[in-house]
Structure 1
Amino acid sequence: MLLHHQKQESMLQQVVVEEEVTDCPMLTLLEHEARVRQKHSSPSKSMSKLIFEITSDDGFSCQADSMEEAWKEVIEKVQDARAAVRLKPMACASVNGLSMFGISHKAVVYHVEQLYGAKHCRNYHFQYHSHTLTEEDEEPVINPSGCIRTEPYTSRKPSDMFSFLMSKHRQRPQVDDKPVEVCNEMIHKSSRRATSMDLPMAMRFRKLREHAKEAVGVYRSFIHGRGLYCKRNIDAGEMVIEYAGEVIRATLTDKREKYYDSKGIGCYMFRIDDFDVVDATMHGSAARFINHSCEPNCYSKVITVDNRKHIVIFASRQIKKGEELTYDYKFPIEDVKITCSCSSKRCRRYLN
């Protein structure tokens, strides 16, 4: 290339350097690119690496990047020397770099495993020593995407809108060991009479909603998750609570169940008849938390009030304060079984 410099006076700066462009054959360009790739691919001489050196008193010396190559060069020199004096070649099939350097010797291995930093050799199987890594010594896991900020948050618990009901700080009502006949609860006497069997069904149902809040409450259950517990003694045959919710057509149950599963929401549905179903998942009463039992103390019944059907939970026997309310779900028999955890004496082991 020809460079033309224009010189000016000392008070002025040097101006532009013009470059003459010449033709470059394609073959020359390809050779240049190949040399550049080879330069970047081959390890630089300035890079730190381990060198194995073997020397002897007679002036022999050799260096190599691996133990095998170093001893291979020694063996070749020995074979050449034996061939020069017409000796048979030496059998060196069992010679390897580890044994010749003494690395595989038990005593050497015993001491090498104690060296500083040996605990960071994660792929090595220690024979005589075991090292425990602390949290500071452990290296962070490599992220599949390459950046921790792009990884999803996986330690968060599934969303549960009723998780506060399972709090250990919400104490369940204390179990009343006294007989029901002896426990004369004057405060709730009128409420028991309003939902007892002495009054017509419609009148009992109208009083049910306001008295159900005083009679039952949701707490942590021994059977499963949350459960409904008695806050006062309940008589046999008394209305306990209505299974309230959104009344939908039976054909929509599968669609809603799939939607709730996709959102990680528990599904609470109760069939009224062949056409209508009560969906208490998003809009419902505390009756949705009543657990199943193979030996229940309640039962469900569909009643008609003002030409509308309602699902009401009745007490099948006298229930004491602090006792959990249960009823039989009566699931149809299926191949995929659901394990029962009611722990009653008559437990059928499966809900279906």
Structure 2
Amino acid sequence: MTAVSQPPEAPAPKGGASPHLIYEITSDDGFSIKSQSIEDAWQKLVDSIQEARSNARMKQLSYSALSGADLFGLTNATVMYLIEQLYGAHKCKQYFFRYICYTHDDDDIEPDINPSGSARSEGFSSRKPFEMFSFLLSKYRPFPKTSAKVDRLLPQLGSSRYERMPSQDLPMAMRFRYLKEDARDNVVVYRSLIHGRGLFSIRDFDVGEMIIEYAGMVIRSSLTDSREKYYETKGIGCYMFRIDDHFVIDATVNGNAARFINHSCDPNCFSRVIDVSGVKHIIIFALKAVKAGEELTYDYKFPYEDVKIPCTCQAKRCRKYLN
């Protein structure tokens, strides 16, 4: 069974002089059928089979469930999928595409000429540049279950964790020690409506409660410009937080989840530098009561500059710009 183009010397169809196909069915014993219609060719084949069976006094067979399209495999899902991808297939206006979606803009689009002559011989180019935290933006990554309900039951259950919860009346050093133990159970990084990734609370926080430390590598302030340029050449986002006039925390490579906390003009957190055993630490505190599942934000307090950075915090009192 073959479908061949009509030769130039063949007569043109009645509908006009446009090119068309001739369907040909042949066998080794010399049987041959040619037709311009696939259904007509199939019907001629069925009639020949029925006539041969009748001459041999055999029972007639029913072919009503089959059609010419079935004969050539045109109803097979894989074949249909491949045919719909053929060049110029989008010009078949009367055909209902089942697997490939074309638009009206595709009518004037011509395929690009590959330097090597074939798309299969071209090297694979990644769709997006490499980003080490891209998996955090996946829409299939479910938001973790909050532990607010569990925390409310802890006093009734007599949990040791509830008994270990530090009071705000304790010294900073003692509260910081508890923070290092429970920080991973407090927050999680997830998709943010403000910008890319954001920091979200897993449990409820009271006003003034420690949430997380902004951890990273402590470097001198004179190295910030050179490091920022290096990160830009590598296509890496820069995460730095100034401790004082002499030192800065670089959390770009060696950091924790605190690096993903976003800016807001109406924040629910604030940052504070504390001294524990002669070492300075940047701690994120709750500015107001924070509920489980709420995104944590604080004011970046960027200095005013001529080149403005748009703010997307969506707060009612948004200043429109970070600087």
- CA deviations on 1:64-114 (whole Å, 9 max, x unpaired) are xxxxxxxxxxxxxxxxxxxxxxxxxxxxxxxxxxxxxxxxxxxxxxxx9x9
Match in the other structure for 2:234: 263
Change (3 A) 1:230 1:333: same
Separation in 2, partners of 1:133, 1:222? 32
Matched with 2:162 is 189
Where in structure 2 are the equivalents of 1:1-352 lying within 5 Å? Answer: 140-143=111-114, 153-173=124-144, 183=152, 185-186=154-155, 188-191=161-164, 193-194=165-166, 196-352=167-323
8 Å contact kept, 1:241–1:287: yes
Highest CA radius of gyration, 1 or 2? Answer: 1
Amino acid at match of 1:298: C
Change (3 A) 1:351 1:115: farther
Matched-pair contact (CA < 8 Å) for 2:148–2:202 = no
SS at match of 2:301: coil
Q: For residues 160-214 of structure 1, what are the alpha-carbon distances to aligned partners after superposition, in whole Å with 9 as ceiling and x for unaligned?
A: 1112222223332568999xxx9454455245x32x4121001111121111111
| Partner residue, 1:127 | none
CA 1:298 to 1:145, structure 2 compared with 1: closer, same or farther past 3 Å? Answer: same
Letter in 2 for 1:189: Y
Partner of 2:79: none
Using the TM superposition, give the Cα deviation of residue 340 of structure 1 relative to its aligned residue in structure 2, in angstroms: 0.8
Residues 340 and 153 of structure 1, relative CA distance in 2, 3 Å threshold: farther
Question: Structure 1 pair 213/140, CA: closer, same or farther in 2 (3 Å)?
Answer: same
CA distance in 2, matches of 1:298, 1:317: 7
| AA aligned opposite 2:227 | R
What RMSD, in angstroms, separates the aligned Cα atoms of the two structures?
3.5
- Return the letter of the residue paired with 2:231: Y
The AA in structure 1 aligned to 2:162 is K
For the structure 1 residues 247 and 177, does the alpha-carbon distance in structure 2 shift closer, same or farther, using more than 3 Å as the test? closer
Q: Which amino acid in structure 1 is aligned with residue 214 of structure 2?
A: Y
In the superposition, the TM-score normalised over structure 2's length comes to 0.61
CA distance, structure 2, for counterparts of residue 303 and residue 152 of structure 1: 53
Deviations 1:268-300 (A, max 9, x none): 110111111100010111100111110001000
Bigger shift: 207-216 or 168-177?
A: 168-177
Cα 1:166–1:132 change in 2 (3 A) is closer
Specify the code of the residue in structure 1 equivalent to 2:291.
K
What secondary structure does 2:127 align onto?
Answer: coil
* Contact preservation (8 Å) 2:265, 2:313: yes
Percent sequence identity over aligned pairs: 60
Counterpart residue type for residue 328 of structure 1: D
State how far apart, in whole Å, the 1-side matches of 2:258 and 2:175 are: 17
Q: Secondary structure at the match of 1:203?
A: helix
| TM-score, normalised with respect to structure 1 | 0.56
User: How many angstroms apart in 1 are the aligned matches of 2:163 and 2:130?
Assistant: 41
C-alpha distance in 2, partners of 1:294/1:231?
22
Q: Paired residues, what number?
A: 224
CA, structure 1 residues 132+313, in 2 after alignment: closer, same or farther (shift >3 Å)?
closer
Query: Counterpart in 2 of 1:100?
Result: none
Listed one character per residue, the Cα deviations across residues 122-173 of structure 1 (whole Å, up to 9, x for unaligned) are xxxxxxxxx97979x9754124687868967544212111122222233325
Distance 2:137 2:229 in 1: 25
- Identify unmatched segments of 5+ residues in structure 1: 1-111, 122-130
Q: Which amino acid in the other structure matches residue 283 of structure 2? A: V
What letter corresponds to residue 210 of structure 2 in structure 1? M
Verify the 8 A CA contact 1:173 1:230 in the aligned structure 2: no
Q: State whether residues 159 and 265 of structure 1, in contact with CA within 8 Å, keep that contact through their aligned partners in structure 2.
A: no
- For residues 308-350 of structure 1, the C-alpha deviation after alignment (integer angstroms, 9 at most, x for no partner) is 1110101111111111111000111111111111111111111
Query: Quick one: which amino acid aligns to residue 279 of structure 1?
Result: D
Q: Distance in 2 between matches of 1:150 and 1:273?
A: 56
